[in-house]
Structure 1
């Protein structure tokens, strides 16, 4: 798998779980197969968020739908602390997406399980209005997740410079600090996590993390940017992120 090419050791889920424990992470997100086979070795050391849906990278995102392959009841069985759901905002499949999301939300409420929504703008309509990480798209997705009952929403960092064909309200001079602050406000009482995104230069990535925390984001959620590098380098990066979260970075 291409995700592991930069650091083949990370292809072993135990490597990532151990790294999460060593780095003092608040939790780890796993699909059900890996949660069943590996998380039990670290139960009590690292909280589990069970991801309930997912799709491969093979088909186009034009009509993206992330189908369910696990249930809230299975998350309870595995001792998870929360469940995760990917919602593709803006695609023609939104009707089916919202319908299966409603089932997840109802079961999460019934079983007392917090619901974390990956709010990802996707589809031709989004690409024709600034793109999936434009300020408009990210802001809209955060609001949709909040209005549909997410307890926590995960978004990508917004790019306010991407203004091609976006609504008039978003075609104005605004810097990235003000943009991420607006996204936090759009999420209102839904806690907001900012993704590390694709592998990027450390200085740029850390600056986005600082801006997110200054804006009032609840926290950060990092994957490839951490484990797609050598072990000691990963821990150095995690240390920098922890200082930012503590307000000292």
Structure 2
């Protein structure tokens, strides 16, 4: 079966809507789209120093998607973010950090993203074989009662010393601690750039009041779009964001400022257009948008991952960062899921909408 036929089969009754959609919101001609020359075309005239450009190029030029302008990243920071038990009990081999790196290599990913000592424990063996992305802050779940805050677990200098190509961080936009997190990560990203590393920001919303009348606006296109806009403003080279599932968060929650054209002209109900609005807030694609793969849902994981990749690519995004759907399964099956996502970005018939 050809790659496009497999993609169509996995999309099922959504195939026509997602593969044939023509965006009439933000024109693709206005976007800075992925391509083999992306670093030269987009970053060369920025203030990023040659070492950062080298790091960005090494991310985009590694693995099966090398030279395409797209990224396939394996993220495994869930041992802290969701507890090691919840994350690794489904497949206990991943309590051993080396298997995390092996999965990323076997699946031919552009990079592997994880915590300080997951990567430090294997750095001498693998940091020169696959780009390392060190996640420098986390929300830990051992405090009781639970608190929700991103705190730093180490220094940017340590990430550099272990040979990391990039650092990653999370900000909980909308949370009580977001002002402090923004200041901390802005400084951390400035230091990372001084040392020549690229920067990736997990731009997540976190506020219980973002849920109203049974609708969860944590993945609303207008709110996540603004989170992205703040993220690129503080120096993120790449934005990681959850795929938008709805819109109108500003209006439903009745706070902040927005504009009617966001909803009438710049978005539609199609998930591709919602994702494109997220991308527009990343300086029209001058900073790459990678969407997260989300939690494992069992037998539907392969289809869901491919669907997310199709939406991201057709919106003009730069790839997928997929973890639990892969590492909570036997390694062979995890590799298959990651490679099926990569097939979307390699398939010429999946075009920009």
Tell whether the structures are fold-level matches, with TM greater than 0.5.
yes
Superposed counterparts of 1:43-122, under 5 Å: 43-58=127-142, 64-122=148-206
Larger Rg: 2
Report the 3-state secondary structure (helix = DSSP H, G, I; strand = E; otherwise coil) of the residue aligned with 2:272: helix
Superposed counterparts of 1:175-190, under 5 Å: 175-188=270-283, 189-190=286-287
In structure 2, do the counterparts of structure 1 residues 187 and 38 end up closer, same or farther at CA, with 3 Å as the change threshold? same
Q: Tell me if the contact between 2:136 and 2:152 (Cα under 8 Å) persists in the aligned partners.
A: yes
Deviation of the 1:211 alpha carbon: 0.9
Aligned to 1:174: 269
Please report the RMSD computed on the Cα atoms of aligned residues, expressed in angstroms: 2.5
User: Are 2:333 and 1:238 aligned?
Assistant: no
TM-score, normalised to structure 1, is 0.90
Q: Tell me if the contact between 1:88 and 1:94 (Cα under 8 Å) persists in the aligned partners.
A: yes
Q: Tell me if the contact between 2:135 and 2:169 (Cα under 8 Å) persists in the aligned partners.
A: yes
Q: Deviations over 1:148-200 (max 9, x none)?
A: 22111100111026858256746675211110111111112221111101113
Q: Tell me if the contact between 2:150 and 2:171 (Cα under 8 Å) persists in the aligned partners.
A: yes
In structure 2, do the counterparts of structure 1 residues 92 and 13 end up closer, same or farther at CA, with 3 Å as the change threshold? same
Q: 2:132 and 2:276 mapped to 1: Cα distance?
A: 28
Q: Decide which of 98, 106, 110 is 1:14's aligned counterpart.
A: 98
Greater shift in the superposed pair: 80-89 or 157-166: 157-166
Aligned to 1:207: 307
Q: Decide which of 225, 228, 235 is 1:142's aligned counterpart.
A: 228
Deviation of the 1:124 alpha carbon: 2.6
Q: Tell me if the contact between 1:145 and 1:153 (Cα under 8 Å) persists in the aligned partners.
A: yes
Greater shift in the superposed pair: 130-139 or 189-198: 130-139
Q: Tell me if the contact between 1:85 and 1:118 (Cα under 8 Å) persists in the aligned partners.
A: yes
The alignment of Structure 1 onto Structure 2 pairs a total of residues equal to 249
TM-score, normalised to structure 2, is 0.65
Report the 3-state secondary structure (helix = DSSP H, G, I; strand = E; otherwise coil) of the residue aligned with 2:252: coil
Greater RCO (Cα-Cα under 8 Å, separation 6 or more): 2
Q: 1:152 and 1:136 mapped to 2: Cα distance?
A: 19
Q: 2:187 and 2:229 mapped to 1: Cα distance?
A: 20
